[in-house]
Structure 1
């Protein structure tokens, strides 16, 4: 991938995730981005013109094949050494976050303590998020100042997530010895 193509890809990730207003929309979009990135890597590694590889691998990667689902695909990539342990674990946690947010529904907020606790368990996010972000105990201030501070914290969380996801997806798009 050329430098320009990588930059455009990064911009596409940021735009896609920035448009998501709710955690539900955000984590659904991030799951889709991970699926796309993993699919591109798997296609680069396994979908070659070689008839034998194509004949053996195509059925495994099809919609109803054993490698059709993201959790199985990332395990394969991790097992082949194409994905670091940290990124593998982070993607697994993002998958869990998507499931958590879906179970909570549209009512969950980015500032939810339950969500922030789960975010701090993700290595790529925890190293970016400022400490004590979940502490929304604000001194007595005007309503507008409190709202501004809450919005700032919401944006910090969302921006940290976007940066973390972009870094993980960049790892998935690096050149590998198998591609």
Structure 2
């Protein structure tokens, strides 16, 4: 598994044109980072333990291949801040909602705005939160709707990169 650098993450997220593909890519990036972090939780990284106990847990069909279960383990062991845990769970649940929802969701939809206002990583960043809020309630024309969608996408991208930075500390 290749760990992506920040430029790769930004490039992959910015190339997504709709919420569904954006959320799927973000979910995959977050899961990949969590999978890279998980081996550090286990005893002394002993070769035998890694080979016979840790690798099966992290295998594609293993129990820790699910982002929600892996997050719960990391949080339960005290290796993750409560705010980060809540943000990644919120992102994961929203991704599942987007995948299973009957309707197509757009960046300018209220539900995406609700996601942004519920992410700790965004709410602690007052300039980006205020910019999104101000554009959300501005008088819209076709140009400003596109601009608002781009602002929302940027806010979500910043959220993902901020979560990744916190995970990699």
TM-score normalized with structure 2 length: 0.84
Q: What is the RMSD computed on CA atoms of the aligned residues?
A: 2.2
Q: Which residue of 53, 56, 60 maps to 2:53?
A: 56
Aligned to 1:156: 151
Aligned to 2:113: 116
Cα shift readout 1:81-121 (whole Å, capped 9, x = no counterpart)? 22211010000000111112223357211010122112211
Q: Does residue 90 in structure 1 map to residue 87 in structure 2?
A: yes
Rg larger in structure = 1
How does 1:1-179 map onto structure 2 within 5 Å? 9-46=5-42, 48-104=45-101, 107-126=104-123, 127=125, 128-130=128-130, 131-135=133-137, 137-138=139-140, 146-174=141-169
Unmatched 5+ stretches in structure 2: none
| Partners of 2:116 and 2:155 within 8 A in 1 | no
Sort the Cα spacing of 1:62 and 1:96 in 2 relative to 1 into closer, same or farther, 3 A.
Answer: same
Count of aligned pairs = 161
| Partners of 2:87 and 2:119 within 8 A in 1 | yes
In 2, the alpha carbon distance for the partners of 1:165 and 1:153 equals: 18
Aligned to 1:141: none
TM-score normalized with structure 1 length: 0.80
- SS across alignment from 1:67: helix
- Comparing 150-159 with 62-71, greater Cα deviation is found at 62-71
In 1, the alpha carbon distance for the partners of 2:114 and 2:103 equals: 18
Unmatched 5+ stretches in structure 1: 1-5, 139-145, 175-179
